[in-house]
């Protein structure tokens, strides 16, 4: 049975700054993802705080929000069979040091903060995150 899903992907400031936007989009397309929507934006720190609210009790929350709002990002809605899990596999582990060969974070990530891409971690959060950026 088919299980086509949508997930939210963000190309983070470290990757946009290094002009990796098109290369990373090609990786998604070459792995069967359809980019349904995309926009390049820069968000305010307050918006980043809302987006990452699930992490508000974590020690890295403030730095994380400052970082996500520090420069342009590309937000995309990706669609594929089992998109949430497939995107997480393609991104690799949160810390690029732990990411497997062939994953986006292994290839481009600089550190756990500057790990180049974000992807929704569940179908439920994907819906919330897509609405966050694309609901008008």
Cβ distance 115 to 94 under 8 Å? yes
**Catalytic-residue membership of 118:** yes
Nearest CA-CA partner of 38 in 76, 86, 79, 7 = 76
Identify residues 100-119 at the interface with ligand CMP (CB under 6 A): 112-113, 115, 118
Considering the rule CB under 6 A, would residue 25 count as an interface residue with ligand CMP? no
Considering the rule CB under 6 A, would residue 125 count as an interface residue with ligand CMP? no
Q: Cβ-count burial of 106 within 10 angstroms (0-12 exposed, 13-18 middle, 19+ buried)?
A: middle
Considering the rule CB under 6 A, would residue 53 count as an interface residue with ligand CMP? no
Among 44, 60, 66, 122, binds ligand CMP (CB under 6 A): 60
Under rule CB under 6 A, how many of the chain's residues touch ligand CMP?
8
Considering the rule CB under 6 A, would residue 56 count as an interface residue with ligand CMP? no
Cα R_g (the chain), whole angstroms? 14
Considering the rule CB under 6 A, would residue 76 count as an interface residue with ligand CMP? no
CA dihedral sign, ordered 21, 24, 26, 32:
negative
Give residue number: closest CB to ligand CMP: 118
Quick check: helix, strand or coil at residue 82? Answer: coil
Cβ distance 99 to 92 under 8 Å? yes
Catalytic residue among 12, 25, 105, 118: 118
Among 70, 82, 94, 125, binds ligand CMP (CB under 6 A): 94
Binding site for ligand CMP (CB under 6 A): 55, 60, 64, 94, 112-113, 115, 118
- Cite the active site residues: 118
């Amino acid at each position: 049975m088919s299980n086509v899903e949508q997930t939210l992907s963000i190309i983070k400031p470290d990757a946009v700054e290094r002009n990796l936007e098109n290369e990373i989009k090609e990786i998604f397309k070459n792995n069967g993802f359809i980019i349904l929507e995309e926009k390049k934006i820069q968000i305010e720190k307050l918006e980043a705080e809302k987006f990452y609210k699930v992490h508000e009790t974590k020690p890295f929350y403030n730095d994380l929000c400052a970082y996500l709002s520090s420069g342009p990002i590309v937000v995309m809605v990706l669609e594929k069979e089992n998109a949430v899990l497939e995107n997480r596999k393609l991104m690799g582990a949160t810390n690029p040091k732990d990411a497997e060969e062939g994953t986006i974070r292994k290839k481009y990530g600089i550190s756990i903060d500057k790990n180049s891409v974000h992807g929704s971690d569940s179908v439920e959060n994907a819906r919330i995150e897509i609405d966050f950026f694309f609901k008008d």
